[in-house]
């Protein structure tokens, strides 16, 4: 009598799997290891008996697999029970017999690991022989009912898990490209997929494949391995090497049962493998799984792009506030940035008569004017590798020789200052006709990072103070430098005009205007 329902069949299959599949698969696993060992280390003469063990083991495995799907009522058919016992025990007896003969004939020559593998095979074969009676005759194991309870638990769990899935459940619909050189196979796949709401395009060759991929964006590709000319594995490799196509999941489809081909497809980037003839249930399950993974992968890629975009924005903002070398040091773990520089040049540039200008100009126009001027200065800072320190009202402060030391800091500072004056003569930059005066002094400074909120990289010392005094006592449209700066420009072709004047906090001093 055929089992009455699907649940009974599942329970029977679970029982066969739990009772017989385990030992059967263990035999094949230990035998594979044993054959590799003997082929590598010998004795070669033992391979004859071991190959017979392999034949019997494969035959046993196939019989167990078929038994799990057998619809007949074994328990109620004594003749069937007897035939099954005979059929299953024949390969088991062969396995046990040839293993024992191998031990008897070659025990002294076998490696210890090979001897252990034969012992394991014998143990699993004998365990399997006992379980045949339990499965075929329905005999209760002498374990107080524990085995029966475990079978029931396994079957109940399997049925519960399978009941949570519905083969007819609507899934994600996608755009799918089917590639197969057999038009009939294409037709079958198309109809099966279209019934589930997918939009399907079918092609019959590698050339048509790449034409279709160039014209449309597909969510999934079903690719036949065996095609004339360029085969499916080669198509897969080309797709995965193309950055525009490599994210499209590919399911390989073939009647080829060669394990090496399947492994090659997976290693080349295939998402899955479907054997022919294609089981519609497996087809839709794997298509849905691939589309699900592709959807989550697309979300992940979009999220990574968003994170990178925000990170780049944050980096750009940080680099606009702090010098790049200082950021690198912070990223390397330094928590306090404070350096003493024996030689640097400080530049102050200030707009002349700015206060009256504030009173008479419209606020928007004033800010636009300042922004235009200081933006031009910022571009000059980058051009001369000068470090902008800050703006103080209408004053622009910069430093040459920090945070990276340079021997020509005075020359760079003066070149920068001269370009500032040139920029102020450009009507496109200085639309309001502003005048500017510049002061430069050269000497030791201390530079460092201060503050946790809106951190600032700043410089301190007498050099800074004197540079500011030189700016404030200078003339519109002129660059006034200290004697220290003039000496640092030794060898320069520039001409200087000396003058002596009173400087607050310092007294009388001689400074120089650059002509």
CA dist., res. 419 & res. 425, Å (int): 10
pLDDT computed for residue 83 by the predictor: 79
CATH number, residue 362? 3.30.70.1230
129 CB contacts (<8 Å, ≥6 apart)? 89, 92
Same domain, 378 and 458: yes
pLDDT computed for residue 317 by the predictor: 85
Same domain, 509 and 418: yes
Conformation bin of residue 337: beta by default, left when phi > 0, alpha when psi is -120 to 50:
beta
Whether residue 149 is contained in a domain is answered as no
Give mean pLDDT, residues 175-193: 88
Range of the domain at 203: 175-292
pLDDT computed for residue 15 by the predictor: 65
Bridge partners (DSSP) of residue 442 are 345
Same domain, 342 and 248: no
Same domain, 184 and 99: no
Domain limit, last residue, from 273, 292, 311: 292
Domain limit, last residue, from 136, 151, 186: 136
Q: What is the pLDDT of residues 18-69, one digit of tens each?
A: 677 878 888 988 999 999 999 999 899 999 999 999 999 999 988 887 876 6
Give mean pLDDT, residues 77-91: 80
Q: What is the pLDDT of residues 391-422, one digit of tens each?
A: 998 999 999 999 999 999 999 999 999 999 99
> In 322-408, which residue ranges form alpha helices assigned H by DSSP?
324-331, 354-360, 363-384
Bridge partners (DSSP) of residue 507 are 503
pLDDT band at 310 (very low <50, low <70, confident <90, very high): very high
C-beta separation of 479 from 438 below 8 A: yes
Same domain, 108 and 180: no
pTM score, whole prediction:
0.52
pLDDT band at 113 (very low <50, low <70, confident <90, very high): very high
435 CB contacts (<8 Å, ≥6 apart)? 351, 352, 353, 424, 476, 477
CA dist., res. 257 & res. 250, Å (int): 18
Same domain, 118 and 182: no
Give mean pLDDT, residues 426-443: 93
Pairing of strands 436-450, 479-481: parallel
C-beta separation of 469 from 503 below 8 A: yes
Is pLDDT at 3 greater than 50 in this prediction?
A: no
CATH number, residue 238? 3.40.50.2300
443: tokens are 């000497």
| Helices 259-267 + 232-241 axis angle, to 10 | 10
Is pLDDT at 103 greater than 50 in this prediction?
A: yes
Whether residue 170 is contained in a domain is answered as no
Strand boundaries in 79-189, DSSP class E: 175-179
Whether residue 314 is contained in a domain is answered as no
Is pLDDT at 167 greater than 60 in this prediction?
A: no
Same domain, 507 and 427: yes
pLDDT band at 12 (very low <50, low <70, confident <90, very high): low
pLDDT computed for residue 152 by the predictor: 63
Pairing of strands 479-481, 250-254: unpaired
CA dist., res. 220 & res. 252, Å (int): 11
Kindly state the percentage of the chain with pLDDT values over 70: 87
Is pLDDT at 142 greater than 70 in this prediction?
A: no
Give kind and range of the element (H or E) at residue 9: helix 6-16
Whether residue 317 is contained in a domain is answered as no
Give mean pLDDT, residues 340-362: 91
Kindly state the percentage of the chain with pLDDT values over 90: 54
CA dist., res. 272 & res. 253, Å (int): 9
Q: Residue 61: which of 32, 25, 89 has the closest Cα?
A: 25
pLDDT computed for residue 1 by the predictor: 38
Give mean pLDDT, residues 163-168: 54
Whether residue 203 is contained in a domain is answered as yes
End-to-end CA gap in the chain: 114
Same domain, 10 and 75: yes
CA dist., res. 261 & res. 250, Å (int): 15
Same domain, 395 and 509: yes
Give mean pLDDT, residues 91-119: 93
99: tokens are 């293993």
Pairing of strands 456-460, 436-450: antiparallel
- Name the residue with tokens 């004053």: 395
* Radius of gyration of the chain measured on its C-alpha atoms: 42
Domains: count for the chain = 3
Same domain, 349 and 278: no
Q: What strands lie across the sheet with 199-203, from one edge to the other?
A: 199-203, 175-179, 220-224, 250-254, 272-275
212 CB contacts (<8 Å, ≥6 apart)? 177, 201, 203, 218
C-alpha of 281 from chain center: 32
Give mean pLDDT, residues 81-89: 82
pLDDT computed for residue 201 by the predictor: 95
Whether residue 300 is contained in a domain is answered as no
CA dist., res. 245 & res. 114, Å (int): 48
Whether residue 507 is contained in a domain is answered as yes
pLDDT band at 166 (very low <50, low <70, confident <90, very high): low
CATH number, residue 117? 1.20.1440
425: tokens are 């003569």
Whether residue 185 is contained in a domain is answered as yes
Give kind and range of the element (H or E) at residue 274: strand 272-275
If you average pLDDT over every residue of the chain, what do you get? 87
Give mean pLDDT, residues 286-300: 90
Prior bond to 277 cis, omega within 30?
yes
Same domain, 377 and 508: yes
Domain limit, last residue, from 120, 136, 152: 136
Q: Which residues of 204-224 are buried (b: 16+ CB within 10 A; e: fewer)?
A: bbbeebbebbeeeebbbbbbb
Q: What is the pLDDT of residues 480-513, one digit of tens each?
A: 999 999 999 987 788 899 999 988 888 899 999 9
pLDDT computed for residue 17 by the predictor: 65
Is pLDDT at 105 greater than 60 in this prediction?
A: yes
The DSSP string of 490-509 is: TT----EEEEEEEETTTEEE
Same domain, 123 and 250: no
């Amino acid at each position: 009598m055929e089992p009455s329902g699907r649940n009974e069949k599942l329970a029977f299959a679970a029982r066969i799997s739990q009772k017989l599949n385990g030992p059967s698969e263990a035999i094949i696993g230990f035998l594979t290891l044993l054959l590799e060992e003997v082929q590598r280390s010998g004795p070669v003469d033992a391979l004859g008996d071991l190959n017979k063990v392999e034949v019997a083991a494969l035959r046993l495995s196939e019989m167990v697999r078929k038994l799990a799907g057998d619809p007949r009522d074994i328990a109620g058919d004594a003749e069937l029970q007897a035939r099954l016992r005979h059929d299953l025990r024949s390969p088991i007896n062969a396995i046990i017999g040839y293993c024992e003969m191998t031990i008897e004939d070659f025990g002294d020559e076998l490696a210890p690991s090979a001897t252990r593998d034969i012992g394991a095979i014998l143990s699993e074969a004998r365990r399997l022989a006992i379980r045949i009676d339990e499965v075929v005759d329905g005999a209760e194991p002498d374990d107080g009912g524990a085995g029966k309870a475990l079978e029931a638990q396994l079957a109940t769990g399997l049925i519960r898990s399978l009941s949570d899935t519905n083969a007819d459940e609507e899934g994600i619909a996608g755009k799918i490209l089917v590639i197969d050189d057999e038009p009939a196979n294409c037709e079958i796949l198309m109809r099966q997929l279209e019934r589930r709401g997918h939009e399907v395009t079918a092609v019959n060759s590698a050339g048509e494949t790449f034409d279709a991929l160039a014209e449309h964006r597909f969510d999934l590709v079903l690719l036949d391995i065996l095609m004339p000319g360029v085969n499916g594995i080669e198509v897969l490799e080309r797709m995965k090497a193309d950055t525009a196509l490599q994210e499209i999941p590919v399911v390989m489809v073939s009647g080829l049962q060669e394990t090496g081909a399947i492994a090659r497809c997976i290693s080349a980037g295939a998402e899955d493998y479907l054997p022919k003839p294609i089981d519609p249930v497996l087809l839709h399950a794997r298509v849905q799984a691939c589309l699900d993974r592709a959807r989550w992968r697309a979300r992940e890629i979009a999220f990574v792009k968003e994170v990178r975009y925000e990170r780049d924005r944050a980096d750009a903002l940080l680099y606009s506030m702090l010098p790049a070398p200082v950021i690198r040091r912070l990223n390397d773990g330094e928590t306090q940035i404070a350096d003493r520089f024996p030689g640097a040049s400080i530049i102050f540039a200030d707009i002349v008569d700015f206060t009256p200008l504030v009173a008479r100009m419209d606020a928007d126009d004033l800010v636009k004017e300042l922004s235009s001027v200081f933006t031009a200065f910022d571009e000059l800072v980058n051009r001369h590798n000068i470090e902008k320190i800050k703006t103080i009202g209408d004053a622009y402060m910069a430093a040459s020789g920090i945070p990276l030391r340079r021997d020509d800091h005075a020359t760079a500072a003066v070149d920068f200052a001269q370009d500032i004056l040139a920029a102020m003569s450009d009507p496109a930059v200085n639309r309001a006709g502003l005048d500017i005066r510049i002061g430069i002094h050269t000497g030791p400074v201390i530079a460092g990072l201060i503050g946790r909120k809106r951190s600032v990289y700043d410089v301190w010392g007498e050099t800074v103070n004197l540079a500011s005094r030189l700016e404030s006592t200078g003339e519109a449209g002129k660059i006034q430098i200290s004697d220290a700066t003039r000496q640092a420009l030794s060898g320069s072709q520039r001409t200087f005009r000396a003058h002596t004047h009173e400087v607050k906090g310092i007294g009388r001093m001689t400074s120089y205007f650059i002509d």
